[in-house]
Chain A
């Protein structure tokens, strides 16, 4: 057992902060015959953050996860996980993993599956029982601990898989579509668990295409497309990417010219969309439009959702313009 890993038996110590990234890859490439699954993945996942890994189907997300965990070997490029080169066996002691295609020994009970993984993860024998108990509580399976897992629903199996991933409080947890089989309550549980992991300094690598999930829980996201990271953004930065939409008539091209001084302006029919304008500057812009003879019918604050950003980055045709903030009244 690594000295830095912590579990209930060791007390809920926080994982010490480190400048070394949890994951670092450079031009990681994977080919299957003539098919290029991953063209050249370059990214850095800082320690202690919840990192969302997003991309359309076939972007190479699961391939990337398998490379990071040493389940697959890269064709080219390099990477480090928790400071060790990809595929390092010893480093895997400090990593928890929920596969996209999760399945556990059906003939075993949930408690036995967790026991097997305590053994495989080389946890000290004395820690097994408290570790298994707290994990069962954490994922809400305490009541079914002694039932064979083949009697479990898909959602319960995924809860067990999450338990397996969280067992022994690893420094890095890699979750591949962790809520695919869960109901809304289960999804909320997962968000709660991820938040508690982050509080303890655990790095969470979340591979998902559920953008609202990612938006709610992640600190930072990387968007991959055709095997490359096309954007890396922080959620805090995304929140700052705001704009205002103003329905104005009677100014024609002048409205755009005026608005361009406040942000990136674009006219769409009667709507003047201004990206990047600070909230404090909106009254000034409205005043100027009115002074120039414009009739302002509505002013709507806009916030770009992750989904809009995602669609825009992937260049999906017909991407809808930024939506209005549901909380705002025109």
Chain B
């Protein structure tokens, strides 16, 4: 019996549920609204003060990074609130009993739920992310450092948080699991700020604190990747009067492309945490 078959059945069930419950449509509607508003807002800015020089570009870049931060927050919350009730409540209310009595393994249920939600989150992050960057580019003519990569990093960040929430949902009540995941996300971001300060001021202790936090929950690695990709180029920074572009990279709303080792860690972390989730679910009494 092929495992992938069961995973796909459960993933498709998850997708159908999202469509049927109008979760996706609500997200799409809100996103379209935000993109239209963004385009309108940036068009107005460009009208008032045409984005021709580095100073204006620096201004636009800051608004864009703030928008991306808000978007990453929305994505993270969506990931957490979609993931935290994915398993536990369905065991408690008996919904999974009938499914688990079929030739389906618990691991397949967990991975199927993860895959279904991951498809939704990634599709949402990419479509909304590219439209947003495109809308800003169209309205102002400004292009950040690496616009193609930013939505990918944001999608990755959402996957990390989805993984955490779904693994919590195998054992912890969904409200508690969701709250813990949100707090963990906030702490990871804070630790990123602390690590950035450590880098900027060459403090080993602070830098190490940031590294440890990223090892525990690597969501900030990916946020910094997205923020770096949306940051202005060095030319714009210098032209806009930023004295030290290198220091600028350590601000919480900036960053740079993550080291490939960190990206590998994000992948390894996701696989490892899912494996822990499978063990937890297999040991759970239903």
Q: Spot the interface stretch: A48-56, A117-125, A202-210, A299-307.
A: A117-125
Are A101 and B97 closer than 8 Å at their CB atoms?
A: yes
A69 proximal to B (CB < 8 A): yes
Asked whether B95 lies within 8 Å of A116 as measured between CB atoms, the reply is no
Stretch at the interface among A21-29, A91-99, A258-266: A91-99
Given A72-B286, A89-B1, do A104 and B102 touch, yes or no (CB 8 Å)? no
Judged by a CB distance under 8 angstroms, whether A66 is at the interface is: yes
Which residues of chain B come closer than 8 Å to A99, judged between CB atoms?
Answer: 94, 97-98, 101
Alpha-carbon separation in the docked complex, A66 to B286 (Å)? 8
The smallest C-beta distance from A33 to any residue of chain B, in angstroms, reads 11
Nearest CB of B to A130, in Å: 20
Known contacts A104-B98, A116-B13: A89-B20 contact under CB 8 Å: no
Q: How large is the interface on A (under 10, 10 to 19, 20 to 34, 35 or more residues)?
A: 20 to 34
Give B101 Cβ to nearest chain A Cβ, in Å: 4
**Nearest A residue (CB) for B8:** A119
In-complex Cβ contact of A121 among B13, B20, B97, B102 (8 A): B102
Q: Is the CB of A121 within 8 A of B95?
A: no
- Total A-B pairs in contact (CB under 8 Å)? 67
Whether the pair A119, B9 counts as a contact (CB closer than 8 A) is: yes
* B139 contacts A by Cβ under 8 Å: no
Contact A161 B98 (CB under 8 A): yes
Tell me which of A32, A90, A103 contacts B1 (CB under 8 A).
A90
Give CA–CA (A119, B114) in the complex, Å.
19
| Given A89-B105, A90-B103, A93-B103: A105 and B1 interface contact (C-beta under 8 Å) | no
In the complex, A71 has a CB within 8 A of chain B: yes
- Per-position binary interface string of chain A over residues 128-147, scored 1 when its CB falls under 8 Å from any chain B CB and 0 otherwise: 00000000000000000000
Of the residues B17, B94, B102, contact of A92 by C-beta under 8 Å: B102
**CA gap between A97 and B102 in the complex, in Å:** 9
Q: Is A164 an interface residue (CB 8 A)?
A: yes
A101 with B94: in contact, given A95-B101, A117-B102 (CB under 8 Å)? yes
> Please, how many residues of chain B have a CB less than 8 angstroms from a CB on the other chain?
22
By the criterion CB–CB under 8 Å, are B103 and A120 in contact?
yes
In chain B, positions 1-34 with a C-beta closer than 8 Å to chain A are 1, 5-6, 9, 13, 17, 20-21
Most buried by B among A69, A99, A107, A120: A120
Contact A32 B285 (CB under 8 A): yes
Of all chain A residues, the one with the shortest Cβ separation from B92 is: A101
Shortest CB distance B260–A (Å): 39
B97: which A residues are within 8 A, CB to CB? 71, 97, 99, 101-103
| Docked CA distance A70–B5 (Å) | 20
Q: Give a binary string over A50-75; 1 marks a CB under 8 Å from any B CB, 0 the rest.
A: 00000000000000001001111000
B123: Cβ under 8 A from any A Cβ: no
Q: How far is the CA of A93 from the CA of B286 in the complex (A)?
A: 20
Q: Which residues of B lie under 8 Å from residue A89 when comparing CB positions? A: 1, 103-105
Query: What 1/0 mask marks residues of chain B from 235 to 266 whose CB sits below 8 Å from any chain A CB?
Result: 00000000000000000000000000000000
Question: CA separation between A108 and B98, bound complex, in Å?
Answer: 15
Whether A104 pairs with B95 at a CB distance below 8 angstroms is: yes
Contact check: which of B13, B21, B103, B286 meets A71 at CB < 8 Å? Answer: B286
Q: Mark A234-254, 1 if CB is under 8 A from B, else 0.
A: 000000000000000000000
Mark each residue of chain B from 88 to 114: 1 if its CB lies under 8 Å from any CB of chain A, else 0: 000001110111111111000000000
Give CA–CA (A103, B99) in the complex, Å. 10
B residues less than 8 Å from A120 (CB atoms): 6, 9, 99, 102-104
Cβ contacts under 8 Å, A116 to chain B: 9, 13
Kindly list chain B residues whose C-beta atoms are within 8 Å of the C-beta of A66. Answer: 286
Cα distance A22–B105 when bound, in Å?
A: 22
Other A-B contacts than A92-B102, A121-B103, 12 sampled, CB-CB below 8 A, are A71-B97, A71-B101, A89-B103, A89-B104, A93-B103, A95-B101, A97-B101, A99-B98, A101-B94, A105-B95, A119-B9, A161-B98
Q: List 27 A-B contacts (CB under 8 A).
A: A71-B97, A71-B286, A72-B285, A72-B286, A89-B1, A89-B103, A89-B105, A90-B1, A92-B101, A92-B102, A97-B98, A99-B98, A101-B94, A103-B93, A103-B98, A104-B95, A105-B13, A107-B21, A116-B13, A120-B102, A120-B103, A120-B104, A122-B1, A122-B5, A122-B103, A161-B98, A164-B98
Which residues of B are interface residues toward A (Cβ below 8 A)?
1, 5-6, 9, 13, 17, 20-21, 93-95, 97-105, 285-286
